[in-house]
Amino acid sequence: MGRFDGRVAVITGAARGIGFGVAQRFAQEGASVAIVDLDEAAAAEAAAKLTLGEGAKAVGIGANVGSAADVDAAISRVVDELGGIHVLMNNAGITRDNLLFKMTEDDWDLVMNVHLKGAFLLSKAAQQHFVAQKYGKIVNVSSTSALGNRGQANYSAAKMGIQGFTRTLAIELGPYGVNVNAIAPGFIATEMTDATAARLGLDVEDFRKLSAEHNPVRRVGFPEDIASAAAFLASDEASYITGQTLYVDGGATLV
Ligand code: NAP
């Protein structure tokens, strides 16, 4: 018996990276899973790779989380095709790093649109179902960069914004049986951090080694590390926890 038997989980940006790791964990623990990502073919391919429990289903849905029309259509499809919605993980994300004086208005708008507007639109579309059934779990994805990171004024502002958004939704939705929490990952080995290595002109393995040296546990994180935290926060074991941001960073923010 899995912690998510009979539940439906929606994870955005889950065609790869952290989101896919989380989708795998939810599926392994019994959930039906909707993988929402920009490219429907990639989302469907990822959904087809999941190992599902008995009676569980998976679907890949193409949607831009920054578009209200896409998001409303995606949530309607989830409810029609998977029979409901119980867990939402707002994970889709992008970076457009640059020092402030070189950062363009587009770099700023794009990052705000995907992280903040995306989390807003998905949460708004999901909450009507959550409130009606008096049950729901939202897990937002922040970052250790919320605390400040050179070259990431846009991303840092968005990720700290996610923490305020999380606390506010927790206050508003708690009386309706909805828990809202956030995870702030440190360095997680994905295409996002591989792209950062490329931008800095570093070899991927050297970049990971360098990052590992900067945290107490002396290793980088993997999508599975975030999946463990997400599965806990989305489970009924965490029903007295809401409005929190859990740093999953190997202790990087302690040093
Ligand atoms: P990733 O490997 O780049 O995956 C992100 C996924 O989100 C991609 O499949 C991407 O699709 C999708 N996406 C981007 N914009 C989207 C949009 N508008 N609508 C729908 N999907 C969209 O990134 P990741 O490392 O797994 O990161 C996942 C989350 O964790 C992000 O919120 C990120 O900011 C956060 N995070 C990551 C780290 C880390 O070290 N990796 C650390 C802290 C926080 P395309 O490929 O088509 O663009």
Q: Is 18 in the pocket of ligand 1 (CB under 6 A)?
A: yes
Looking at residue 70, its pLDDT comes to 99
- Separation between Cα atoms, residue 183 and residue 193, nearest integer Å: 17
pLDDT in tens, 180-234: 999 999 999 999 999 999 999 999 999 999 999 999 999 999 999 999 999 999 9
Identify the residue whose C-alpha is closest to ligand 1 atom 32.
Answer: 93
Task: Show the tokens assigned to 187.
Answer: 């360095």
Q: Is 15 in the pocket of ligand 1 (CB under 6 A)?
A: yes
Q: Is 143 in the pocket of ligand 1 (CB under 6 A)?
A: yes
Atom of ligand 1 nearest to the CA of 141: 32
The C-alpha R_g of the chain, in whole angstroms, comes to: 17
- Separation between Cα atoms, residue 33 and residue 35, nearest integer Å: 6
Atom of ligand 1 nearest to the CA of 188: 40
Looking at residue 163, its pLDDT comes to 99
- Separation between Cα atoms, residue 34 and residue 45, nearest integer Å: 12
- What distance in angstroms lies between residue 132's CA and the mean position of ligand 1's atoms? 30
Q: Is 94 in the pocket of ligand 1 (CB under 6 A)?
A: yes
Is 176 labeled as catalytic in the residue annotation? no
Query: Probe ligand 1: pick from 10, 11, 12, 18, max atoms within 8 Å of CB?
Result: 18
pLDDT in tens, 89-105: 999 999 999 999 999 99
What number of CA atoms fall less than 13 Å from residue 241's CA on the CB side?
18
- What distance in angstroms lies between residue 1's CA and the mean position of ligand 1's atoms? 31
Helix axes 105-112, 153-173, angle to 10 degrees: 30
**Cβ-Cβ contacts under 8 Å for 241 (sequence gap 6 or more):** 179, 181, 233
3-state secondary structure of 188: strand
Is residue 29 within 8 Å of 3, Cβ to Cβ? yes
Task: Show the tokens assigned to 121.
Answer: 């639109």
SS3 content of the chain, % helix, strand, coil (to 5): 50, 15, 30
pLDDT in tens, 76-135: 999 999 999 999 999 999 999 999 999 999 999 999 999 999 999 999 999 999 999 999
Q: With bands split at pLDDT 50, 70 and 90, how would you rate the model's confidence at 1? A: confident
Structural domains in the chain? 8-186+221-248 (3.40.50.720)
